[in-house]
A and B are shown apart, each in its own frame.
Chain A
């Protein structure tokens, strides 16, 4: 097992380096000049421009720039963001918790609601419950989530006044809690402020639910299909004929086997939740990585774009490694090593 862990972990750095290379090349093929963006259009003195190019190393050949960037990255220096005026690492540390909080909660919603519905639906295949859940999950899967977000805001906030204002992580009058983890639900608890905690939760749930819907739909469908398939296999028939109760068959024998393909897909989904929520972030004014990345791309902010990409890719790769380990835990037949 440990040999497998090491081999998996050793594969991570080359993947990340590959990602920096692809991002770097793609960014530099787009025509544009970050120094021009930085200076603003009124101050395009060629001398100042040249000075900035020298200062940022943009006058050097691309391979040299790339190697310099990698060297800095290894030392933890992700460069300077021209559109925020801050170190990229500092920006990422600021925006990541908002995205992490949103993605984690969405993921939990998708799994906690999706798996039981999928199991129920699969166990009672072709019943009324099954039909409702299948149609519902198809709807969730195919609906653009930002559009659903707009509807949630319009009805829940504007017409009914049940939901809090769509002003991001906090309401109009709220002040951010003292930063410890950057996750507001945890920081408000650490600050022993239950009122603020509930406000943070009430602002978190609408976007989290909106973001969770497609994953929720997918989870239901996957779990249902796997359960139906597993329930028709020989070992289930054996278990039944041995007199194992229906519940026991479903949860002890069928579900565990059905979860293996689900975990694979959920791993990918989790990665996508981190990177794919730009539109939901925009609609709910959620200050996360997605908004930051869009800004960075618009401003040809090389360091910020690569930094963001590396972070998201790193998370993605990390989740996939975790998924591989989960297999072993779920299925003792899978051996690594």
Chain B
């Protein structure tokens, strides 16, 4: 029921989990909804959510709810491409020009020249100019909150120059092989209207702009509509959009903290789409001709984190024993009803150059036992395993892990911890084992750097407190390498080392899952997690 979504909070359940679980069992007998012949309200999409955006200032956000709204309101110079697979449109992790018409990259990979698309206007009517682009990039760097955290080491206020009214050049201090991918993010790359920002308080270092946290002026296909906190908010179609007006006139979001309620409304056809119903409810929708399920692996791993510095997990044999003892397939069946993709490796499957064939482990309790004896624990040990209260997917996982560890003599006690304390405990490295999933940018450099660099232990993303100087060096090397063959080679060696070190127990790729009425067409899943309503329409 958490209404503010952070990356790792994304796949969370409701606090009324008891109610939801009960309802799920009880609603299991529900008859199928009557098939509708006409599409009701064809130009309005009704979206059931359990969260709300926190803030609408793109350069200051850190939660997914806000990001999903801003995906449709503000636009970056480049954006993630789509591809056609078997007649289906899928998002990719590659970028293409968007507000820019073309991008030229210098040979050394440090200078980027963007030629702007013509005829683009902000919602207020002002045209998009090269000055606005420079202003936006410099504002993002000055505000210096989450959206700036990854690019700020490559650029400063002097990096961006206006060549002519249609051309902007960015010169980086050092090579950044994923600069365009970073700028494709809705928050980091958002182009704001300088006139509007200056008219409402201007740029404040280290802070969001108060006016902009509740009001918007972007170039996107939708504008921000009415927002009644705790209840509803809306996106309104922008008829003046540069690529033509969107097919939907309105996207109406209704805040429904209880998943059971969302499910009933979807079955009755009052809601058009819901995001991430618990898997047990999703399975009830399978085979329903009025409802389509969309799912994909996100950039993240649902995993059992191991605090590598705490005894007995400072011994690599014990960590390997954990991987041998835990069966990801049975957890997929129980916690995700078999809908997820089991991860064979330390990195999410859809990242660049991820090689599942390198994974040396499989479920093998005997081997796990042998490894434990070798490490000096022939009779196992006792350990707590934690998850955040209210998340049924993680709870299920913890329960199964407990049962599986029992088979190798490890006595795990399950701890259910409220979210705030949970975050605090894992950033401080206080929990030896805990279940968590997340969604990250589709940039392999960013992923390995935040999850496995010893410099980022704790708060910055390395929650396993994994520490291998050899891997640190490989990460530094990767961050400066642009040649694809060299990167592939480097990533292969890195994955071999990470696998051998067994820093964590991967289970499956974070599950992106939507259920929508079959009359909703054009909804596209992106591994990066973006939501774009521009191509969406409702028709029979």
Contacts and interface: CB of A to CB of B under 8 A. Distances in A.
Interface of A: 30-34, 36-46, 48-49, 51, 83-86, 91, 94-95, 98, 146-147, 150, 153-154, 157-159, 165-170, 172-173, 175-176, 279, 281-285, 287-288, 291-292, 294-295, 297-300
Contact of A150 (B26, B52, B267): B26
A167 B16 contact: no
Given A49-B459, A287-B228, 13 more contacts: A32-B421, A36-B427, A41-B427, A42-B7, A44-B460, A85-B213, A150-B23, A153-B264, A167-B265, A170-B232, A285-B255, A287-B230, A291-B257
B421 A40 contact: no
20 contacts: A30-B418, A40-B7, A41-B459, A42-B149, A44-B459, A44-B460, A45-B149, A51-B206, A91-B229, A165-B268, A166-B256, A166-B264, A169-B231, A282-B19, A285-B257, A294-B1, A295-B3, A295-B4, A298-B420, A300-B421
Given A48-B206, A84-B54, A287 B261 contact: no
Interface in B131-148: 144-146
Contacts of A168: 231, 254-256
Contacts of A285: 254-258, 261
Contact of B46 (A166, A172, A176): A172
B423 A41 contact: yes
B443 to A, nearest CB: 12
Contacts of A172: 46, 252, 254, 270-271
Nearest to A147: B22
Per DSSP, chain A at the interface is helix
A83 B54 contact: yes
Contacts of A150: 19, 22-23, 26, 260
Contacts of B242: none
Contacts of B461: 41-42
Given A32-B424, A166-B264, A292 B230 contact: yes
Nearest to B425: A31
A94 B230 contact: yes
A283 B52 CA distance: 17
B149 A43 contact: yes
B254 A43 contact: no
B254 A283 contact: no
A83 B5 CA distance: 10
A176 B254 CA distance: 13
B102 interface: no
A331 B108 CA distance: 91
B264 A43 contact: no
A42 B149 CA distance: 8
Contacts of B63: 40
B357 interface: no
B226 A175 contact: yes
B62 interface: yes
A288 B228 CA distance: 12
Interface in B218-243: 226, 228-232
Which of B23, B46, B427 counts the most chain A CB atoms within 10 A? B23
Given A94-B230, A166-B261, A176-B228, A282 B1 contact: yes
Nearest to B150: A42
B175 interface: no
Given A150-B22, A291-B257, A283 B16 contact: yes
Nearest to B33: A158
Contacts of A297: 418, 420
B383 interface: no
A167 B256 contact: yes
Interface in B394-425: 418-421, 423-425
A292 B264 CA distance: 24
A300 B424 CA distance: 11
A42 B438 CA distance: 11
Contacts of A46: 459
Contacts of B16: 146, 279, 282-283
B378 to A, nearest CB: 35
Q: Which 10 A-B pairs have the closest CB atoms?
A: A40-B62, A287-B230, A43-B146, A44-B459, A300-B420, A32-B420, A32-B424, A282-B16, A285-B256, A40-B6
B111 interface: no
Given A40-B6, A42-B149, A168-B255, A154 B26 contact: yes
Nearest to A37: B420
A255 B361 CA distance: 77
B231 A287 contact: yes
A283 B15 contact: no
Interface in B1-35: 1-4, 6-8, 14-16, 19, 22-23, 26-27, 30-31
A165 B420 contact: no
Contacts of A37: 420, 423
B149 A282 contact: no
Nearest to B450: A42
Contact of A283 (B19, B30, B149, B424): B19
Interface string B323-349: 000000000000000000000000000
A34 B252 CA distance: 31
Contacts of A40: 6-7, 62-63, 146
B231 A154 contact: no
B62 A42 contact: yes
A283 B263 CA distance: 12
A44 B149 CA distance: 9
A172 B272 CA distance: 11
B470 interface: no
B12 to A, nearest CB: 9
Given A44-B460, A279-B16, A285-B257, A95 B230 contact: yes
B302 to A, nearest CB: 16
Contact of B427 (A44, A91, A147, A157): A44
Nearest to B254: A167
Contact of B146 (A39, A49, A167, A283): A39
A46 B3 CA distance: 26
B37 interface: no
A165 B2 CA distance: 22
A165 B420 CA distance: 33
A147 B30 CA distance: 16
A167 B256 CA distance: 7
Given A36-B427, A285-B256, A291-B1, A42 B264 contact: no
